[in-house]
Amino acid sequence: MKDIKLHDKTFEVYIPETEISAIIHSLATSINNSGIQNPLFIAVLNGSFLFAADLMRKITIPNAEISFIKLASYQGTESTGTVNELIGLNQDLKNRNIIILEDIIDTGNTLEKIIELFQNKGLATFKTATLLYKPKAYKKDIPIDFIGKSISNDFVVGYGLDYEEIGRNLPHIYKLKN
Ligand code: IMP
Ligand code: MG
């Protein structure tokens, strides 16, 4: 498969679409067999839009729901530093079994912020599913419940993941070519 160029960088195929689909099939099977009831999946935009769409088609748990959020970070006052906010969360989360859907977990900073923002909302259970995980970059102790594939520390694009906002439409996942 051909290399591609995005902005100033060249990328080579790393996880072809056939493998992505096998990974998603196996993730869906794990979630379906986990015993979680009436789940509310919450996909973190923008990166997880294709993953969420493909995974949901393989979920067979009755009464499964899906919603989408975006994590916005902005500079607060000097004393508060960076402020994080969840955009798009309208549902009542009380007593819900939440499964977060992430495209990739790298350092874990984003996941940690999401967890903070979900605290005190009276959830029944909270689980995380990610398509890709970079174990060598992960700096947190938070357990990740469902992992599609653990990858090296390379920068990847495609299938929802971007390099400075482009490349999300690529059907395969590519990595930076050295
Ligand atoms: P973390 O907070 O370091 O775990 O990284 C989370 C976010 O960084 C992800 O949701 C992605 O948007 C972005 N990210 C991390 N690694 C990559 C990558 O290899 N390619 C594209 N985006 C990435
Ligand atoms: Mg990004």
Alpha-carbon distances, residue 74 vs 77, 83, 87, 117 (angstroms): 10, 5, 12, 15
Mean pLDDT of 138-167: 97
Considering only CA atoms, which residue is closest to atom 20 of ligand 1?
156
- Give me the pLDDT at residue 73, please: 74
Please give the number of the atom of ligand 1 that sits closest to the Cα of 134: 16
Assess whether the C-beta atom of 131 lies below 6 angstroms from ligand 1: no
Assess whether the C-beta atom of 107 lies below 6 angstroms from ligand 1: yes
Please give the number of the atom of ligand 1 that sits closest to the Cα of 102: 10
pTM (2 decimals)?
0.95
User: Model confidence over 69-93: pLDDT tens digits?
Assistant: 998 777 666 666 676 788 888 889 9
Ligand nearest to the CA of 110: 1
Q: Residues 6 or more apart from 15 whose CB is under 8 A from it? A: 23, 149, 151, 156, 159, 172, 173
Catalytic center residues: 106
